[in-house]
Structure 1
Amino acid sequence: MRLKDKIVLITGGYTGIGKAIANRCLEEGAKVVVNGLREEKAEQFLQGRSKEHIATYTADITEAGVPESLIDFAIAQFGRLDVLVNNAALISSSNIKSTDLDFLRNMLEINTVAPFAMIRAALPHLAESKGNVLNIGSINSWSGEPDLLAYSISKGALMTLSRNLGDSLFRDYGVRVNQINPGWVLTDNEKINQREQGMKDDWFRELPDLFAPSRRILEPAEIAAGAAYLISDECGPISAQVLELEQFPMIGRNLPKRWEGFLK
């Protein structure tokens, strides 16, 4: 029970990685406040659960005043705040031709500015509890795919935010800030996205080892396991760090031998 009696706020927590983190936090003894955009998803998340340790708040965190209202709600529900998990994000394909300025600004607003606003709103309470922040980024933070240009820019900015605040907030307030960069994760939304791009229903069962050496991609629960460590007291003074959760290295990756002739 690494998170016993901790109060954890998770944005974008009704589905996918956020939901897996919420589930892991509950298993580890925490009380959770979960945010998302759609009330029907909140109802699905709450179905069959005791509300003694869970509260939901459906709102768009990019709207003015919502970060502050969400923090106030968490304090009103459970009396304090120990952990903020910034998981809410927009994933959308774009390249240099299709990324106009409005699209880029919207991507940055959701994936970078909103987490910053959440941290600002939460800081007084996290400073009081000597709590911490966990930002959920992406391996695309490092450069990204050609058709994930705006998304990659926003996640790269988030990574710099995590490293910068992980140093300054820990020194000045005792608040740790870390980030997880997940690789390819098999969320329900990813299954839908791939089907919409023409893949068959069970596309994830026949992956080439070029993209997945294990012949499978990560499960949301595997990301949540890393999150549980980083937000727990067991993590000690670790701050300003980025944990890459992927099955191959971001730098110096060894391609399968069958590609060697192609690359010569």
Structure 2
Amino acid sequence: MRLKGKVIIVTGSTMGIGKAIAQKVVAEGAKVIIHGLEEELGMQVVSELGPANARLHIEDIASEGAAGRLVDLALQTWGRLDSLVNNAAIVAASTIYDTDHAFLNRIMEVNTAAPLFLIQAALPHLIASRGAVLNIGSINAYSGEHNLLAYSMTKGALMTMTRNLGDNLFREKGVRVNQINPGWVLTENEIARKKEHGLSDTWYENLPNVYTPSGRLIFPEEIASASVYWLGDESGPISGQVVDLEQFPMIGRNVPKDENTVPLK
């Protein structure tokens, strides 16, 4: 077991990528704090993993004091904290034409500020365990879809934070901070989001090859498997790194000029 005895907080883990990560770290021997807004879904995850392995905390991650309450739950339950996974995020459409001040502040608050403050609250305990932080970003950090302006901005900021803290915290305190940038992942929320945009119930079954060279989208479980390396001791002294998990290179890609390049609406 690659994470035996470790205690890990995974935000946004009642569904999607966060849930898959929580399931995977428990399978690898860790204890986990499940977090999110969906109490019924969270209770299902805890039931599946078992109360000896998981505890649930339902709260908006951006609420005042939420970070401290998550950390306290881990300490009160298992007496230690080894790793954080900052996964909770709002994925909401916006463009230059409809992004107002309040909307941008809310997206930044959840997607970028909350991860920073959770690291801050957990830091004394991560120093004690020489722990690790894994931030879940997005390939949208590099530019982003045309209708994901605010979201893409927050993921770009998260990437800068990861590199900054990954350098300073590791040199000064021995705490590693890394990030993975998933590409297009077939989560429950992504299925629903595309249906809201007018696509069919089975939109993900016949995607253009330019988006899915493998013939399908990435599964949450595949992101979870990659996460284990960064949360465990086997990643050794590696810190301040951002790794893209996509089916094709984001920079310098040779996009074929054929009918499969028509973007999805």
Shift of 1:49: 3.6
Could you say which residue in structure 2 is the equivalent of 1:175? 175
- CA separation in 2, counterparts of 1:52 and 1:140? 37
Could you say which residue in structure 1 is the equivalent of 2:40? 40
- Contact 2:34/2:46 (8 A) holds in 1: no
Q: Which runs of 4+ in 1 moved over 3 A?
A: none
Could you say which residue in structure 2 is the equivalent of 1:104? 104
Amino acid at match of 1:248: F
Could you say which residue in structure 2 is the equivalent of 1:233? 233
Amino acid at match of 2:16: G
Q: How does 1:49-128 map to 2 (within 5 A)?
A: 49-128=49-128
Shift of 1:148: 0.5
- CA separation in 1, counterparts of 2:86 and 2:48? 25
Which secondary structure does the structure 2 equivalent of 1:34 belong to?
Answer: strand
Q: How does 1:223-262 map to 2 (within 5 A)?
A: 223-258=223-258
Q: How does 1:136-147 map to 2 (within 5 A)?
A: 136-147=136-147
Which secondary structure does the structure 2 equivalent of 1:244 belong to?
Answer: strand
Q: How does 1:196-211 map to 2 (within 5 A)?
A: 196-211=196-211
How many aligned positions are there? 262
Deviations 1:27-70 (A, max 9, x none): 11111111111211212212344211111111111011111111
Which secondary structure does the structure 2 equivalent of 1:47 belong to?
Answer: helix
Amino acid at match of 2:256: P
Q: How does 1:159-170 map to 2 (within 5 A)?
A: 159-170=159-170
Shift of 1:237: 0.5
Amino acid at match of 2:129: S
- CA separation in 1, counterparts of 2:33 and 2:15? 14
Amino acid at match of 2:3: L
Amino acid at match of 2:98: S
Aligned CA RMSD, in angstroms, stands at 1.5
Which is worse superposed, 243-252 or 39-48?
Answer: 39-48
Could you say which residue in structure 1 is the equivalent of 2:186? 186
Amino acid at match of 2:157: A
Could you say which residue in structure 2 is the equivalent of 1:30? 30
TM-score (norm 1): 0.96
- CA separation in 2, counterparts of 1:259 and 1:38? 40
- CA separation in 1, counterparts of 2:113 and 2:184? 24
Deviations 1:188-229 (A, max 9, x none): 111111112111111111010111111211000010011001
Could you say which residue in structure 1 is the equivalent of 2:157? 157
Could you say which residue in structure 1 is the equivalent of 2:130? 130
TM-score (norm 2): 0.96
Counterpart check, 1:221 vs 2:252: no
Amino acid at match of 2:75: I
Amino acid at match of 1:80: R
Amino acid at match of 1:152: S
- CA separation in 2, counterparts of 1:49 and 1:82? 19
Which is worse superposed, 80-89 or 208-217?
Answer: 208-217
% identical equivalent positions: 54
Q: Structure 2: which 5+ residue stretches go unaligned?
A: none
- CA separation in 1, counterparts of 2:259 and 2:37? 43
- CA separation in 2, counterparts of 1:108 and 1:132? 23
Shift of 1:257: 4.3
Amino acid at match of 1:78: W
Deviations 1:78-100 (A, max 9, x none): 10000000000000000000111
Shift of 1:259: 6.5
